[in-house]
Structure 1
Amino acid sequence: MSEPNRNLEAAHAEVKAEISRTDNKIALLLALATGLLALAWTVGSNLHLPSGFGIAAAVVGAPGAGLVVWAVAALLRSVRPNLAGRHGFVLWATLTPEEIGERAGQRDLSADIAGLSRLAVAKYRALQRAVDLLRAGGALLILAALLTAGAAL
């Protein structure tokens, strides 16, 4: 295999690995966000606070929960499969065995790397947005918890 081909193969593998790492991070954040929502719902629905503190905690906690839900939506959007795409396994599923052989022989790694890199950047942006939303929502939920703890004292 020539040096340029080895470099293309290495770049292709690197981009695919980055997409896989991003998907793993997204899965972990989805678990964190849904756990945070479950915890907030459980604690919030079982507390009966004096009206002033309860209203203050709800005013701060509701937008916090909303931001966490928004983050979950961003994470889900970033891992949603594109079945209308004309590349990847979706394309292979529409071809006959002979057409697959022809296409595989004409494979352009440079085009694959460019397409996968754009996909990786889009996933990174969605992941970055979700992390920012989770941080803001978590901060508001912590503030609501502090208000609730102040009411209990």
Structure 2
Amino acid sequence: MALPALIVPDYSSTHTDHNLTEAWAVVSGEIARTDGKSSLLLAFTGAVLAGLASLTGRPLPAVTQAFGAAGVLALAAASILLLLVVRPRLRGGGLESFPAWARMSEADIREALHGDLRAARIRILSLIAVRKFRHLQRAVDLILTALALLLLAAIGALL
């Protein structure tokens, strides 16, 4: 009985080229996802804050005011984090980033792009994506906290 042939992974430059291109597309897609989610959550927090603003000036029990104020602060903090997600960052990066290209001459750009910079771009985009996801994660945690506090405020107003 013959032994099956040993399958050896293909680590040729073609395989690496494909993987680098695919990784760049994945990271770019993740950044787009964070921006979309953040925009949706910004609209949500803005609507909730606008609704809560309509309640100002009404007499409310002290416990409702306390929980409501804490909820508003949590929503405001979440909004700040969400704004940081969608805020463009134009500093940093090396020759592989477009902010650096804006400061270069055409000849310098040609020289800088002479080699394969995909791995460097993937690294920078990954750092951006991780930072955006951390802000997004913290913002969602704050929104959930705010909703719990606002629920407690509503219960206090009913009692």
TM-score (norm 1): 0.86
More helix by share: 1
Structure 2 residue aligned with 1:45: 56
- Counterpart CA distance in 2 for 1:17 and 1:90 is 20
Matching of residues 110-125 of structure 1 within 5 Å: 110-125=119-134
- Counterpart CA distance in 1 for 2:48 and 2:148 is 12
Matching of residues 1-153 of structure 1 within 5 Å: 2-42=14-54, 44-45=55-56, 47-49=58-60, 54-87=61-94, 88-148=97-157, 150=158
Higher RCO by CA contacts (8 Å cutoff, separation 6 or greater): 1
Q: Which runs of 5+ in 2 are unaligned?
A: 1-12
TM-score (norm 2): 0.83
Considering only CA atoms, is the larger Rg found in Structure 1 or Structure 2? 2
Moved over 6 A (4+): none
Which residue identity is paired with 2:104?
Answer: L
- Counterpart CA distance in 2 for 1:122 and 1:81 is 12
SS class of match (2:113): helix
Q: CA RMSD in A?
A: 1.7
Query: 1:44-98 deviations in whole A, cap 9, x for unaligned?
Result: 215334xxxx212101100110011011111112232222223432111111112
SS class of match (2:91): coil
Which residue identity is paired with 1:142?
Answer: L
